């Protein structure tokens, strides 16, 4: 199958941004940014991108050189992108994993996410220099310990159909969503220009995101370097759970993240840069992004890229006590590891 619809997307004029699909690489309890080397990590993630992904991901290793395949449609993108995993919690206390589905515009990838690298917005690069991330760069956005709506870049959309994009909410939708729930993660785009990471994985970045895909505010002097505005969209197919007789008797919504969050304010995402060579910089320097010289691969090739599991445990569901839903048991660990941080301008 050819990247017919992707080519159409990229061929449209004045779209100064990258938008592409990445199939699921793995669903495992691994977290090489927040809990490097820990097998298993405290909660389950869904991961897309290059096959250099493992529990450790030493920042000194250039994953763009190490990986040999990627689940992303751009074949030079060996970055890894991950979020928590959504579950349905039944009245009897059991959990069932919610399946993911791909953005239909981007081809029939298996599950996964839609990834964006914006210069400024869909229609302009803002005439500013966008500096690519460097090998070893990583960051997180959001925090599982967060219990209020803080960052306008972390949102949900209740999908009436696959094209629904508004409204966005800070917490899980309260009513059944006919085409599922889209989880949205916008990362900060202001970098301190020095550190590839920081102890809480956020302080080397500064968030000026104002929500949706509106242009972010200017970067402050402390974090002067404008990097690509990275965003994820993950489509969760909740439709098999839309019968309200299955929902909690108190009328609340039944979905829960894999760190046991039923409100949804703790939603977070992890990014680990791994583009090969200067491919991302070339793309950001290109005004059309079609001439960025980025190579693509077929859906079949993207779907085929895989890694071996290092954590072997059932993840599709469980009764009452789920080992992979441990965040509450480990709340102090999470609070220490993720300092909630969002600063708007």
Ligand X SMILES: *[C@@H]1O[C@H](CO)[C@@H](O)[C@H](O)[C@H]1NC(C)=O
Site of interaction with ligand X (CB under 6 A) = 42, 54-58, 61, 90, 92, 94, 101, 237, 239-240, 246, 310, 319, 326, 329-330, 333
| Alpha carbon distance 52, 133 (integer Å) | 18
Q: What is the DSSP letter of 77?
A: B
Backbone conformation region of residue 343, classed left if phi is above 0, alpha if psi is from -120 to 50, else beta: beta
Nearer to ligand X, 58 or 175 (CB): 58
- Cβ neighbours of residue 81 closer than 8 Å, sequence gap 6 or more: 22, 47, 48, 49, 113, 115, 232, 269, 270, 271, 272
Cβ proximity to ligand X, 109 vs 294, nearer residue: 109
Tell the smallest beta-carbon distance from residue 134 to ligand X (Å): 16
**Given the complex with ligand X, which of 94 and 169 has the nearer CB atom?**
94
User: Least CB distance from residue 160 to ligand X, whole Å?
Assistant: 13
Cα 37 vs. chain centroid, distance in angstroms?
21
Q: How far is the CB of 54 from ligand X (least distance, A)?
A: 4
Q: CB of 81 within 8 A of CB of 45? A: no
Least separation in angstroms between CB 330 and ligand X: 4
- Residue 277 beta carbon to ligand X: minimum distance, rounded to whole angstroms: 18
Alpha helices in the chain (DSSP H): 4-11, 63-66, 279-285, 299-304, 331-337
Q: How far is the CB of 92 from ligand X (least distance, A)?
A: 4
| Of residues 54 and 267, the one with the C-beta less far from ligand X | 54
Q: What are the DSSP calls for 113-164, one per residue? A: EEEEEESSSSS--TT---PPP-TT-EEEES-TT--S---TTEEEEE-SSTT-
Among residues 53 and 206, whose Cβ is nearest to ligand X?
A: 53
The residue to which tokens 């200017």 are assigned: 218
Supply the minimum distance, in Å, between the C-beta of residue 144 and ligand X. 13
Whether 204 contacts 197, CB under 8 Å: yes
Residue 229 vs 337, nearer CB to ligand X: 337
Cβ(338)–Cβ(145) under 8 Å? yes
Buried b (16+ CB within 10 A) or exposed e, 79-109: bbbbbbbbbbbbeeeebebbebbbbeebbeb
Burial tier of 296 (Cβ tally within 10 Å: 0-12, 13-18, 19+):
middle
Q: What is the smallest separation between the CB atom of 99 and ligand X, expressed in angstroms? A: 7
């Amino acid at each position: 199958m050819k990247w017919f619809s992707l080519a159409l997307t990229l061929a449209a004029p004045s779209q100064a941004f990258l938008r592409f699909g990445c199939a699921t690489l793995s669903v495992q309890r691994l977290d090489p940014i927040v809990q490097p080397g820990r097998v298993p990590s405290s909660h389950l993630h869904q991961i897309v991108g290059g096959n250099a992904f493992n529990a450790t991901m030493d920042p000194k290793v250039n994953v763009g050189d190490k990986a040999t395949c990627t689940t992303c449609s751009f074949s030079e993108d060996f970055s890894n992108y991950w979020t928590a995993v959504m579950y349905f919690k039944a009245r009897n206390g059991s959990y069932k994993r919610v399946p993911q589905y791909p953005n239909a515009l981007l081809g029939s990838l298996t599950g996964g996410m839609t990834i964006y690298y914006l210069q400024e917005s869909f229609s302009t690069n803002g005439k500013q220099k966008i500096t690519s991330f460097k090998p070893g760069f990583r960051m997180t956005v959001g925090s599982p310990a967060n219990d209020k709506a803080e960052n306008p870049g972390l949102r949900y959309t209740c999908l009436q159909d696959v094209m629904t994009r508004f409204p966005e909410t800070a917490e899980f939708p309260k009513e059944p969503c006919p085409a599922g729930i889209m989880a949205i993660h916008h990362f900060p785009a202001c970098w301190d220009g020095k550190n590839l990471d920081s102890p809480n994985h956020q302080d080397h970045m500064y968030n000026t995101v104002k929500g949706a895909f509106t242009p972010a505010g200017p970067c402050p002097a402390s974090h002067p370097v404008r990097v690509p505005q990275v965003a994820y969209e993950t489509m969760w197919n909740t439709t098999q759970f839309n019968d309200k007789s299955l929902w909690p008797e108190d009328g609340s919504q039944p979905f829960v993240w894999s760190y046991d969050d039923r409100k949804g304010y703790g939603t977070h995402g992890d990014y680990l840069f791994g583009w090969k060579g200067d491919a991302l910089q070339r793309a950001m320097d290109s005004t059309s992004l079609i001439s960025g010289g980025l190579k693509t691969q077929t859906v079949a090739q993207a779907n085929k890229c895989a890694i071996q599991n290092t954590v072997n445990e059932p993840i599709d569901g469980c009764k009452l006590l789920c080992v992979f839903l441990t965040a509450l048991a480990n709340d102090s660990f999470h609070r220490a590891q993720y300092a909630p941080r969002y600063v708007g301008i």
